[in-house]
Structure formats: structure tokens, C-alpha cells
Amino acid sequence: MCRTSPRHSTFSVRLSTHAVVGTTLFSFAKASRTLAGAHAATVMNLVPQVSSIFMTDTQHRSQHHSQTLIRRVTLVLFGLVLLLYLIDFAWYQLRVVSPHLGVANGTVHRTRVLAIAEKNNKVEYEIDSNRPEEDVPCAHSLFPHAGNHPCWYVTRHANDPIPM
């Protein structure tokens, strides 16, 4: 519980051993609303520090356990993506050196459509008169290699208009 005295700018806090952190935070917030000026700001700055003091050991352990779990899951996911990239890179390089394993690079044929912005948020679409068609180089892999996007990505975006 929190009691404030109108004559004094200090307050006293009585907490039982079974106090809940939420009740403590509510009490501090209530006390800070009743105090004036800089005292209220000081009390509100202390709330996060005081709340961690009144946390039980199991609350600290569960918070630490969840942070450790999140950190481990993040590291495992990062490691799996890195391993997948390295395997993809090795397979790509192997196909560049030995073409009998499969083609490493390819092209996707597309029609160049220009998106020309006009007034009132309207867009006019035209086929490019200078180069109406082109072959976009790509890599037959999951990730970009040798400066080329993967063929699955280029194929998916082949019909996207080119903004002007």
C-alpha cells in the first residue's frame, strides 16, 4: 500500500512479503500522481528498478530462461540459414566448374513494360520502344550468386513494370 501525506512531499510504502509486482507498480503510479512536480518524475523513474527488486526468484529465473531460449532459437535459425547458403553456394560453384551436373546460370525472357506516373496518381503502362524485350540473367540456386538473382525470383518478377 502507498500512503501520501498532503503536508509532506515524501511517501512511505508498506509491502508485505506476498506483494505482487502489478500492485507495487500501481501503488507507485498512484503515489506519483499525487506528488507534485519533480518528485513525480523521480518516482516514475524508480518504478522499473523497484519492480525488479520485488520480483521473486522464480520470476527472475523464468525471465532469464525465456531470454536464453529466444537467444538459442535465434542462433539456431541463423546457423541453419548460413548452412543452407553455404551448401547452395558449394552446389552452384560445383555446377559452374562441372556443367554435366546441371546448368548454373540461365536467362529469363521478358517484355519490358514501363510504368509512367501521371497526374492524379494515375499510371500509364507502355512497352519500351527502345528495347521491347530482353533476357535477364539469373542463377539456378536458392540465393543470389555471381551478381545474379535466383531464377525463381527473376521469373516471379519478370512481368513487373519498370517505374519511371
Domain coverage including residue 122? 57-164
The whole-angstrom separation of Cα 100 and Cα 123 is 47
* Residues 68 and 123 reside in one and the same domain: yes
Between the CA atoms of 79, 85, 89 and 92, what dihedral angle is there, to the nearest 10 degrees? 140
Nearest to 2 by CA among 55, 47, 45: 47
Q: Give the pLDDT of residue 164.
A: 85
How many distinct helices (H) and strands (E) make up the chain?
4, 7
- Long-range CB contacts (< 8 A, 24+ apart) of 8-14? 9/35, 9/36, 9/39, 11/35, 11/43
* Same-domain status, 111 and 164: yes
Same domain, 89 and 45: no
Domain boundary residue among 31, 55, 79? 55
pTM (two decimals) = 0.56
Are the C-beta atoms of residues 78 and 124 closer than 8 Å to each other? no
What is the tally of structural domains in the chain? 2
Which pLDDT value is given to residue 142?
95
- 5 within a domain of the structure (yes/no): no
**pLDDT tens for the chain, residues 1 to 164:** 444 444 444 443 443 444 444 444 444 445 445 544 545 455 455 555 555 556 666 666 677 778 888 999 999 999 999 999 999 999 999 999 998 999 999 999 999 999 999 988 899 999 988 889 999 999 999 999 999 999 999 999 998 898 88
- Cβ distance 40 to 33 under 8 Å? yes
The pLDDT of residue 67: 85
- Beta-ladder partners of 154: none
Judge if 43 and 64 occupy the same domain: no
Tell me the one-letter amino acid at 113. V
- 43, three cell numbers: 518516482
